[in-house]
Amino acid sequence: MSTATKPRHIGRNISRIRELKDMKQDALALALGISQQMVSNIENSETVDEQRLIEIAKALDVSVEAIKNFSEEAVFNIIGNTIQDNGTLSTTTGNYNCTFNPLDKVVELYERLVQAEKDKVEYLEKLLNGK
């Protein structure tokens, strides 16, 4: 029975960090000067060349160690230990209360998109009827 731990999947770590930073593969590819397909291949690889890893860490604005040691559990622990029951973010510098309801912002955006579509349809109908 082996007590050796399975090495971390570096590509998966890169993918999760990229996603947490709300970055698309295309954006990372552009930052690295490679194709999106190459980024996809890297993210599917268990290991990544050290020099490439340094470039990726720089593009993601994290340390190489952060990529190598990334774990979902750590992220959830950080979130769990910083969010209090009243919905505020607790930090060493103070509490930050959200001053708006995020769902209201989503509804507002949806309504603006619907209105934009209605305006577009109206404009197109005027163009078609005007000819």
Section 106-111 average pLDDT: 90
Least confident stretch, 19-23, 47-51, 70-74, 89-93: 89-93
Decide if pLDDT at 118 tops 90. Answer: yes
Whether the Cβ atoms of residue 10 and residue 48 lie closer than 8 Å to each other: yes
pLDDT band at 1 (very low <50, low <70, confident <90, very high): very low
Query: What's the rounded Cα separation, in Å, for the pair 49 and 30?
Result: 19
Host H or E run for residue 52: helix 50-60
Question: Alpha carbon 66 to chain centroid distance?
Answer: 15
Query: What's the rounded Cα separation, in Å, for the pair 68 and 121?
Result: 51
Q: Which of 9, 43, 13, 51 is nearest to 26 (CA)?
A: 43
Least confident stretch, 38-42, 72-76, 117-121: 72-76
Section 47-71 average pLDDT: 89
Query: What's the rounded Cα separation, in Å, for the pair 95 and 60?
Result: 27
Section 9-26 average pLDDT: 89
